[in-house]
Structure 1
Amino acid sequence: MRTLISRKLLSSIRTRTVSLLTLVGVCASAAIVAACGGGGGGGTLNYPTLSVVQPVVDCSKLASVDITDIGGAGSKINSATVTNATINGATVAFCTVKGTLAPSNTFEVALPVSTWTQRFAELGCGGLCGNLSDPTQQSSFSFTYQCPLVQKGGFVTAATDMGHTGSDQTWSSDPQKQADFAYRGQHITTLTAKKLIKAYYGQQQKYAYFIGCSDGGREALMAAQRYPTDYNGIVAGAPAAHFQIQNSLYHGWSVKSQSTTGTSAGNAILYADKATLLHKAVAAACGGGSGAADGLLADPRTCHFDPATIQCANNATDTSSCLTAAEVTTAKAIYSGPTDATTGEYMLAGSPQYGSEANWVGVEVPTTNSTGAPVPVTKLFSYSIVTGAYNLIFTGSPTMPTIDTFGYTDASFYPTYLKANHPFIDATSPDLSAFQAAGGKLILWHGWADQHISPLFTIQYYEAMQKTMGNSNVDQFARLYLVPGVAHCGGGEGFPNIDLVTSVTNWVEQAKIPNSVMTYQTDASNNVTASRPVYPYPAVAKYTGSGDWHDGANYTQGSPLYSAASRTWAGSSFYTTYTPTRRGVAAP
């Protein structure tokens, strides 16, 4: 049975421009049917009717709520005022509470004044955080296709800078601030938000959720592993769960394989124009796996493209439409990743996948073209990612390595440099039995064309969960979605707009097990131009062969295109169960 949104899309998609607001409808009240995407076991997606609860005290009274029991001495609320947010032309009033949880976790909680439907959502923070998102804004939910239940004030939402600001360069060597970033900041902000909810509305929330992507995805998994009762439902996008590996070997290899000298002293080899050229060749060779002429790789693991097929002829004077030998070598190195020089063992679970090349621009490759001035690899974003995380990763290591001395071809790098801090900052423990026992639901998702974090790491984590807990157990509480052509946490040539808030909410509150989830492409005016369902991994969307292939109604669930288990690699042991460790002052 098609969902309500699919029927609307089917009647409107022929114009190839559908109003986003028309598609998602207006569901400011919990009693209104939510036709805002997502997916389930069939039928329309209706939220349970939860009555709107009004405050029992004036917003200003929240300024006196004591939060030292949560954050410790020095924790305080700085302000509690009513503010208005304009979303899609509608005005929603919030009691906005701002404060600090000791020593320096800045937080903000937005409590709807007249539209609260007894739900709470904590919002993840990407990168190394250090900034405070406005929890009243749509952009705070940009990693999941915005559902009006969120937009129109149905949720209390909260955000934190996780204990430091972007301008503070000393935080990453401070044990307490390391802990606040690793696991504590989001947890104590959640406890604070729940205390404010009780004080403001006179009752607790009925359901609590966490929504995050990138490091926000790591924070999401950290919550499931360390604090299994904090949330009823979690959406973890492109999780940097393997934080240490990601911010050392993974991005460091991009720098090394790009360098003319093989070190940080060299210039980049592959530039934006050549990455784009490479991408077009890959799409032509491997795209269309769904059966539609879309150029998207339905599962990049089935692609065996050789960059040498577009290598320039010897002594070619015009290399604008081909790759030089050095560029071919670099492309191959980025795809394959490093290997141990003695055993030949892979050093990483995966690298950027075929189909992601256009997204390398600005991360693995410069934004300029090969016809411009040479760009030092120290100017690459990959370089700044690695150097910004040194202290977090290598605190307590026997020596402080550099991007040139990580040991890209020596598997002893893992026990020597990463083992000590692994249970502190990584979030790869696959035993989520406590989260499952508490009734929690987890949705993992990742774009196949992610330029920052390989989706193969997320697949590896999901497989580790299955191996540890059993497939049938994992099926009861977790789902993984891989989205073709989508870059890191959105963007790319695929269908990056996806409402997983609806999916997790319906799963938690109505036991509607997610299956197909509709994804969308939109134009510059936010009009929907095409749609495509995604299915739980490892299934793929398959075009039926009839009707407009831009219309998601013309797809069905297809069999997996790839069935082999993830490869073994030097850090595989990091995806086995471990006991998390703490640092700094005692924390909840």
Structure 2
Amino acid sequence: MAQVLDHRSRHEVIPLPNTVESCGGPNFKANATNDFCRVVVNVSTSDSSSVRIEGWLPDEWNGRFLATGTGGEGGCIDYEQVQNGAQLGFASFGTNAGHDGATGFDFFLGHPEVINDFGHRAVHFEAEVGKQIVAQYYGRFADTSYYQGCSTGGRQGLQNAQLYPGDFDGVVVGSPGIDWLHIVSSKGILARRIGWPNINSSAYVRPEQWPAIVAKHIELLDPLDGVSDGVIDDPTKHNFDPAILACGTGLLNSSLCLAPQQISSVRAAYQPLADSEGRIVYPSFDLGANTDVFSDNQEDGVAQLAYTILQDFWRGAVYNNSDWTPHNFSVADMEFATKVNPGGVNAAEADLGEFRAKGGKILSYHGRSDQTVTSKLTMEYYSRVQEALDITVDDMHSFYRLFFIPGMEHCSGGKGAFSLGQSYPIDEAKLNPRENLLLALVDWVENYNAPPFVVGSKYANDDVAQPVIAQRSKSCIATTNTVFI
């Protein structure tokens, strides 16, 4: 049953004291970005599971519906996207994907229906129930329906287009976590390749060595694109032999240089993942990207991955075993997970034919410095969709456009011009289809203006209240132009 909590005025601060620690804690607050009515509903998805859905319904509604996804293990409403959507006049919704918390495994352990919600069901319920709430509140259904999400939220958007093509007219999907189980597995496989958990072995590459290794990637490869800006435009065009970082070459000091076995470990870290039959199942890690997802792997001298999703999900959803650890993670663990595919979470299917046939549009973006989901994965998925539908590149561009953003990290951040309206707060001076991804999608769906390029901005101190110091236009899988301001 829906509960109208209250009416909020723009600029008010909304306390959310029931927020769990991993989603921000009891002191977490949201910001009212418009005058709106806030609605929360808990919807049963089975006899043993439910999803929480929150909607912000603006007084001055633009006639559009917006659903948003989650990140990581889910469990946290994406208030940043909800806030942005409401500011733009959308009836803006978020979901906890069926459980509370961005870390942990207890909510999955022994609860297959909760796993189903996170795996594939929550956003569909968000769309169905959210549209009904909109109709009840405004007296009519939304004219158009949209979705925006990044990482796990990107997976949820593409997965929804696969499974429930009628839910949305268009989706914005950033750094999409499609093939999710291979993405998560890669952290364990790469950690093992660099010597973990045997942190005293001669093959182990220490956490403090990795920033120096990545800095050398950037120092040596960045100038090759013609501009020395601290950004490797397209890391897929380059190879890097870590042997040049060996002790004695002088490129790294004696405390950071690589011993012979460490060279082999670093080389292995930049190789793709293969299954037990030698088939490539996940592309290689991007050169120049932060490596913490696999190299931040000890605490106080004890082997422990800082990236907790692997342990949490395999404990709670794959093996249903609270004692399992990733210390001996192997290809067999990866293959078992993909075979079981808990909740249908992997979402690697490439047949988007029904979504295309109904006129749906996909606007996807991915940073070339993504430290969590290698940007090569999105390109490979795009190619697989084209192959599955047996269509030309022009046909693909008619419904699915992919933009790579040089220097952008996972979803946002980084040294590049990464701001495209995907993060909170948004720059009100850039509310146009070239500089805001959601508005670009709206223009495409409603006015048939497919975006030939998008323009990212880089702000001083990454603060939208400060001046823009660089902008960059990026065409869909094509050429780029750079303008420094």
Q: TM-score, normalised by structure 1?
A: 0.68
Corresponding residue for residue 567 of structure 1 = none
Corresponding residue for residue 389 of structure 1 = 313
By how many angstroms is 1:440 displaced? 0.6
Is contact 1:272-1:366 (8 Å) kept?
Answer: yes
Corresponding residue for residue 403 of structure 1 = 326
C-alpha distance after superposition, 1:460-499 (max 9, x if no partner)? 1100011111124322100111111211111122222112
Q: Distance in 2 between matches of 1:334 and 1:365?
A: 10
By how many angstroms is 1:79 displaced? 3.5
SS at match of 1:497: coil
Cα 1:501–1:315 change in 2 (3 A) is closer
1:462 and 2:408 aligned: no
1:377 and 2:303 aligned: yes
2:57 to 111, 131, 134: 111
Is contact 1:216-1:236 (8 Å) kept?
Answer: yes
What is the root-mean-square deviation of aligned Cα atoms in Å?
Answer: 3.2
Cα 1:176–1:91 change in 2 (3 A) is closer
SS at match of 2:294: coil
Cα 1:484–1:496 change in 2 (3 A) is same
1:540 and 2:479 aligned: yes
Could you tell which deviates more after superposition, 329-338 or 310-319?
310-319
SS at match of 1:274: helix
Give the letter aligned to residue 105 of structure 1.
V
Cα 1:331–1:117 change in 2 (3 A) is same
The aligned runs of 1:53-92 (5 Å cut-off) are 76-86=1-11, 92=34
By how many angstroms is 1:164 displaced? 0.9
Cα 1:316–1:129 change in 2 (3 A) is closer
The aligned runs of 1:103-502 (5 Å cut-off) are 103-113=49-59, 115-134=60-79, 139-140=80-81, 150=85, 152-166=87-101, 169-248=106-185, 250-260=186-196, 269-271=204-206, 273-313=208-248, 319-320=254-255, 322-339=257-274, 345=278, 347-356=280-289, 359-361=290-292, 363-366=293-296, 375-378=301-304, 380-382=305-307, 384-391=308-315, 394=318, 403-404=326-327, 406-408=329-331, 414=335, 416-421=336-341, 424-469=344-389, 470-471=391-392, 472-498=394-420, 499-502=436-439
Cα 1:168–1:283 change in 2 (3 A) is closer
The aligned runs of 1:524-539 (5 Å cut-off) are 524=461, 525-526=463-464, 527=466, 528-537=468-477, 539=478
Corresponding residue for residue 430 of structure 2 = none
Is contact 1:393-1:418 (8 Å) kept?
Answer: no
Cα 1:157–1:267 change in 2 (3 A) is farther
Give the letter aligned to residue 313 of structure 1.
G
SS at match of 1:336: coil
C-alpha distance after superposition, 1:397-440 (max 9, x if no partner)? 9xx986355543x7x963x5422427822222111111011111
SS at match of 1:419: helix
By how many angstroms is 1:172 displaced? 4.3
Is contact 1:87-1:151 (8 Å) kept?
Answer: no
By how many angstroms is 1:120 displaced? 1.1
By how many angstroms is 1:221 displaced? 0.7
By how many angstroms is 1:349 displaced? 2.5
SS at match of 2:281: coil
2:40 to 89, 92, 98: 98
Is contact 1:290-1:542 (8 Å) kept?
Answer: no
Q: TM-score, normalised by structure 2?
A: 0.82
Corresponding residue for residue 59 of structure 1 = none
Q: Distance in 1 between matches of 2:162 and 2:43?
A: 22
Q: Distance in 2 between matches of 1:172 and 1:260?
A: 27
Richer in strand (by share): 2
Give the letter aligned to residue 353 of structure 1.
D
The aligned runs of 1:507-586 (5 Å cut-off) are 507-524=444-461, 525-526=463-464, 527=466, 528-537=468-477, 539-542=478-481, 549-551=483-485
Q: Distance in 1 between matches of 2:317 and 2:201?
A: 25
Larger radius of gyration: 1
Q: Distance in 2 between matches of 1:169 and 1:509?
A: 43
Return 5+ residue gaps in structure 1 as ranges: 1-75, 544-548, 552-588
Aligned residues: 441
Cα 1:517–1:316 change in 2 (3 A) is closer
SS at match of 1:130: coil
Is contact 2:274-2:282 (8 Å) kept?
Answer: no
Q: Distance in 2 between matches of 1:122 and 1:199?
A: 17
Larger RCO: 1 or 2 (CA < 8 Å, sep 6+): 1
Cα 1:393–1:258 change in 2 (3 A) is farther
By how many angstroms is 1:351 displaced? 2.5
Cα 1:424–1:236 change in 2 (3 A) is same
Q: Distance in 2 between matches of 1:484 and 1:327?
A: 29
By how many angstroms is 1:276 displaced? 2.2
By how many angstroms is 1:315 displaced? 13
C-alpha distance after superposition, 1:76-130 (max 9, x if no partner)? 22334212342999962111001211133112111002x2110111011001111
Cα 1:236–1:375 change in 2 (3 A) is farther
Is contact 2:178-2:346 (8 Å) kept?
Answer: yes
Is contact 2:171-2:441 (8 Å) kept?
Answer: yes
Is contact 1:266-1:377 (8 Å) kept?
Answer: no
